[in-house]
Chain A
């Protein structure tokens, strides 16, 4: 224990300890993670792989504060998040987490810029400041020229880049990506992965990416395989 805490104090941005998540299906209880430990140092680009139902997304949700573990503790940037109230957790997410989804999950009724600006509504920034930051974020993902387009007029790759811009606009501590290339063709996937890699290397963003795709995982600085609630460095069979 002591070792780990010390270790965390030095470089561990995320510390997951003995975490389990129980889902009830009827009277049956399903233990998804079964006491899992995981440390993610700052600046890492971690890829999580594993078969469907292995608990990758559950783990991602727990780290991102979208859900609370049934047991165990989760610390992110020296802060326990497993016991925060819904309200505090929401505020915490707004400050620390950037999320990228497989199906982009953009608001169809808002333009690209407004979509990116959305998380900034939760801050105390002025209107012009919000606008400026959203434009910078869109510039980073290379979509300055598509700012006023609505999601349905953008290609899948472009929508995902808006999604990434939205995730990084608040300058979050941690970028969590759930199958970010799962719905894209090879070319677009490559571009998205280039972008994530650049964010990791040039801006020092800590990224956790859940993926099915070996090619995507190759871009990460570390790849872990999750199966039946156990993490390993190699895929099990």
Chain B
């Protein structure tokens, strides 16, 4: 610690340069944090997928429907605890850009299937009682300024009503929170019965099943059993763990992770150049002083350590502030105003960020530090 003042004083020598370098490092880590949050939201839900849940869908594509009668048959299969049907409603609230998922479900079964969806007992009871009742995630409720008791009209794009109208009216009876970071808080959920009786066509057909299994270890086995149950029928199924299903869906968007990583790599490489260059200058213009330190009795390793310490201080301040700022900005809400289903920096990315701070500090500082360590006193002093 006694060398701290020496390190600090040296950084204060060229204040502008130090500040600018810290700022550019800050920008790099800010971007790292923000891109981490964006990447996370594109791989929506994969991290929080239930290990004990399978998704059963039409073999050809998710867009084709399954008979609701499959539910009972699935539930009879050994290893299956429960199956819940969901359907893509695909309606529009006010305007097409207000995109969010609307799903008709069996409320009691659904809440049982998804313990991470937190709803007060009172709201739960009201929802079960209210035929036209719907619940919404906290995130979209805030985005559209909904409160409990609001009447929410949604225009169907697929499911025309029996009377030929497109508008379905719902009463908002509950707002749920996610138990975990990353739980989708943008869903709008309503009664399957209301939906099935109201639609003009497709009665008795649902989109896909979510199946809870007793033993996650046997997921592959149970999936195979479900698929073979319906093999050679007009509607064959495809079952897979929820995580794999969500991952496949995320992959459809493209390799977002790869693009984000490439950008971050480009940014870090650039900032590394900036920081490394700053350190190189800091050493070059102080050759004489560093030599004096050695003359006084500082060892080669000691001088190397001093220069490296400067690099660490620079990068830790800049990187730490960058990560903190990213965290702050992300916690203020996502830039697309609620279009992303979840928006936060995963803990794993934060840890990687901290590791990167140390890696960058080392890489930026090590060359100049070694150069300073190798400095031959007698030569350097003669200059």
Contacts and interface: CB of A to CB of B under 8 A. Distances in A.
Contact of A101 (B12, B293, B299, B381): B381
B12 A109 contact: yes
Nearest to B376: A67
B297 A94 contact: yes
Given A109-B13, A121-B6, A93 B295 contact: yes
Interface stretch (A3-11, A84-92, A225-233): A84-92
A212 to B, nearest CB: 16
Interface in B1-33: 2-3, 5-6, 9-10, 12-13
Interface string A74-117: 00000000000011001111110101010001011110001000
Contact of B381 (A66, A119, A130): A66
Interface residues of A, number: 30
A90 B300 contact: yes
Interface centre among A91, A99, A109 (most CB of B within 10 A): A109
B294 interface: yes
Nearest to A120: B2
A111 to B, nearest CB: 9
B300 A97 contact: no
A99 B295 contact: yes
Contact of A121 (B2, B288, B299, B301): B2
B8 to A, nearest CB: 9
B302 interface: yes
Contact of B298 (A108, A114, A122): A122
A107 B297 CA distance: 15
A133 to B, nearest CB: 14
A93 B9 contact: no
A57 interface: yes
Contacts of A61: 377-378, 381
A87 B12 CA distance: 29
A118 interface: yes
A66 B378 contact: yes
A114 to B, nearest CB: 7
B282 to A, nearest CB: 11
B2 to A, nearest CB: 5
B300 A110 contact: no
B228 to A, nearest CB: 73
B296 interface: yes
Given A90-B294, A105-B288, A110 B6 contact: yes
A92 B5 CA distance: 24
Main secondary structure of the interface of A (DSSP, over half): helix
Given A87-B301, A107-B289, A127-B2, A99 B296 contact: yes
B292 interface: yes
A87 to B, nearest CB: 5
B297 A91 contact: yes
B13 A108 contact: yes
Contacts, number: 74
A81 B235 CA distance: 91
Q: How large is the interface on B (under 10, 10 to 19, 20 to 34, 35 or more residues)?
A: 20 to 34
Main secondary structure of the interface of B (DSSP, over half): helix
Contacts of B300: 86-87, 90
A64 interface: yes
Given A67-B377, A114-B5, A121-B6, A105 B299 contact: no
Given A86-B300, A109-B12, A64 B295 contact: yes
A41 B12 CA distance: 45
A94 B377 CA distance: 14
B95 interface: no
A79 to B, nearest CB: 15
A67 B297 contact: no
Nearest to B297: A94
B297 A93 contact: yes
A90 B292 contact: no
Interface in B295-353: 295-302
Contacts of A86: 299-300
Nearest to B379: A67
B289 A95 contact: no
A63 to B, nearest CB: 12
B129 interface: no
B378 A67 contact: yes
Contacts of A166: 296
B180 interface: no
Contacts of B289: 105, 107-108
Given A114-B5, A121-B6, A90 B297 contact: yes
B214 to A, nearest CB: 65
Contacts of A66: 294-295, 377-378, 381
B298 A90 contact: yes
A38 B285 CA distance: 37
A66 B382 CA distance: 12
Nearest to A64: B295
A228 to B, nearest CB: 20
Given A105-B288, A121-B3, A110 B295 contact: no
Contact of B299 (A90, A99, A119): A90
19 contacts: A57-B382, A61-B377, A64-B295, A66-B381, A86-B299, A87-B300, A90-B297, A90-B302, A93-B295, A94-B296, A94-B298, A101-B292, A105-B289, A109-B9, A110-B5, A118-B6, A121-B3, A121-B6, A166-B296
Q: Which 5 pairs of residues, A with B, have the shortest CB-CB distance? A: A94-B297, A109-B9, A67-B378, A90-B299, A93-B297
